[in-house]
Amino acid sequence: MKILIHQTKALATDCAASLIAARLNRQPDTVLGLATGGTMEMVYANLIARHRAGEVSFAQATSFNLDEYVGLPETHPCSYWHYMREKLFDHVDIDPGRAFLPHGDAPDAEAEAERYEAAIARAGDIGLQLLGLGLNGHIGFNEPTSSLSSLTRIKTLTRSTREANARYFDDPQDVPRLAITMGIGTILRAQEVVLLAYGAEKADVVARMIEGPVAAACPASALQMHRKVTVVLDEAAAGALELRDYYEQVHPRVGETSS
Ligand code: PGA
């Protein structure tokens, strides 16, 4: 894993966005794996600004999002379809016909998960996968004890995930209990992975992901098995890393040179 520790959240965000922009500039028809959540909002705002400045185009890209709540139609304000349109798709030149998420309101959610997995494979798998990190170590909605070789399927959300996401819903009871999510095996097939985490509350789980054992109890630890992962952190999220000195030796003063 390549561990990049930045001084601030803004620098970490800019770094993650620059990795995506660089990949698109190198390979305009990249298949992007996209994520939602609070962490990604600044990344997408940064990419929109780069797009407006003529620095990056999504015109030839394809995208697959990690997950969607079961039961929410595309038009639901808390659906990830809605999030992606609002935070990114409506503001850049991505072809809406090539920007995919699972359909949470499909009549047969299991069949929809299988269809989505097949669509990803047919597209040649993900080129660059963007990831956030759940407080419980989830990536996508692969909750603790998910099979480390799982494919896209339905997962039951943990109480902690539902609580963390309740802020988006009027009533915490409205947070769906199930989601369709790419599997850990799906994610591990990506050519490269960029995971972004910031804030002190993520420090412990970041340390478990990078320095703990590979274990289904911390699904993100499966990334230790991937050949090309870049973990982008701010100072606070790096706070519990035992080998931090080493990471900063390998990538010195990265926070000062990234912008
Ligand atoms: P967050 O969510 O960006 O809102 O912290 C991350 C995740 O749960 O994957």
- The CATH number of residue 86's host domain is 3.40.50.1360
Q: Is the CB of 142 under 6 A from ligand 1?
A: no
Summary mean pLDDT of the chain:
96
Residue 253 has a pLDDT of 64
The answer, yes or no, to whether residue 257 has pLDDT greater than 60, is no
10 and 16 in contact (C-beta within 8 Å)?
no
Instruction: Return the H-helix or E-strand segment holding 189.
Output: none
Among the listed residues 14, 112, 143, 235, the single catalytic one is 143
The answer, yes or no, to whether residue 153 has pLDDT greater than 50, is yes
The answer, yes or no, to whether residue 132 has pLDDT greater than 70, is yes
Three-state DSSP at 26 gives: helix
Q: Is the CB of 37 under 6 A from ligand 1?
A: yes
The answer, yes or no, to whether residue 14 has pLDDT greater than 90, is yes
Average pLDDT over residues 53-63: 98
Residue 258 has a pLDDT of 42
Among the listed residues 136, 142, 165, 235, the single catalytic one is 136
> From atom 2 of ligand 1, which residue's Cα is the shortest distance away?
37
Domain of residue 9 covers 2-256
Q: Which band of pLDDT confidence, cut at 50, 70 and 90, is reported for residue 259?
A: very low
Q: How crowded is residue 175: how many other Cβ atoms within 10 Å of its Cβ?
A: 18
Q: Is the CB of 132 under 6 A from ligand 1?
A: yes
Average pLDDT over residues 61-84: 98
Burial class, 238, CB count within 10 angstroms (exposed 0-12 / middle 13-18 / buried 19+): buried
Tokens linked to 142:
């692969």
How far is 227 from 216, CA to CA, in rounded Å?
19
Residue 157 has a pLDDT of 97
Query: Ligand 1: which of 13, 39, 146, 167 to mutate, judged by most atoms within 8 Å of the beta carbon?
Result: 39
Q: Is the CB of 183 under 6 A from ligand 1?
A: no
How far is 117 from 112, CA to CA, in rounded Å?
9
Q: Which band of pLDDT confidence, cut at 50, 70 and 90, is reported for residue 104?
A: very high
Instruction: Return the H-helix or E-strand segment holding 44.
Output: helix 38-52
Q: Which band of pLDDT confidence, cut at 50, 70 and 90, is reported for residue 252?
A: confident
Residue 202 has a pLDDT of 98
Average pLDDT over residues 221-246: 98
Average pLDDT over residues 188-212: 98
Q: How far is the CA of 106 from the centre of ligand 1 (A)?
A: 24
Strands 67-69 and 178-181: antiparallel
Give the total number of structural domains in the chain.
1
Q: Could you report the per-residue pLDDT of 156-169, keeping only the tens digit for each?
A: 999 999 999 999 99
Q: Which band of pLDDT confidence, cut at 50, 70 and 90, is reported for residue 254?
A: low
What's 140's DSSP letter? T
pTM, entire model:
0.96
How far is 49 from 51, CA to CA, in rounded Å?
5
Query: Ligand 1: which of 133, 194, 195 to mutate, judged by most atoms within 8 Å of the beta carbon?
Result: 133
Average pLDDT over residues 91-113: 98
